[in-house]
Amino acid sequence: MFISKTENYTLLKLDNNSVQNFYTELKNRYSEFEKEHLIINFSEKINIQIEEIVLFLEISNQHLKNGTSFVLICKGINIDNLPEELNVAPTLTEAIDTLEMDAIERDLGF
């Protein structure tokens, strides 16, 4: 897992081709990231499957309960086939925009 922290969010990237291994590592290390806005970058993963993305639903829901944002970057995924609770963006720029929109919603009490 590659970790890059900014002032506003933490960016995580795969260090191998296995989404399942990445998910397991993230679950095991979740306490390190639970209070941070997270962006998970899968943009370099070719042919990521919806089943792999849905693995992160529990973590996404936990982040929502914590009042933090969780966004996955995935190219070529039809977001209509994903649960509403998952924030998925095609690029880092759009993922950052999603974080900002989440912050506005929290400020407004949504």
Give residue-wise pLDDT tens across range 74-104.
Answer: 988 888 889 988 999 999 999 999 999 998 9
* Range of the structural domain that residue 15 is part of: 2-108
**What CATH number corresponds to the domain at position 99?**
3.30.750.24
Give the model's confidence band at 15: pLDDT under 50 very low, under 70 low, under 90 confident, else very high: confident
d(CA 31, CA 85) in angstroms, rounded, equals 21
Total domains, the chain: 1
Q: Tell me the per-residue pLDDT of 19-77, one tens digit each, with 9 for 90 and over.
A: 999 999 999 999 999 999 999 999 888 888 899 999 999 999 999 899 999 999 998 88
CA dihedral 61, 64, 66, 68 (to 10 degrees): 130
pLDDT at residue number 73: 96
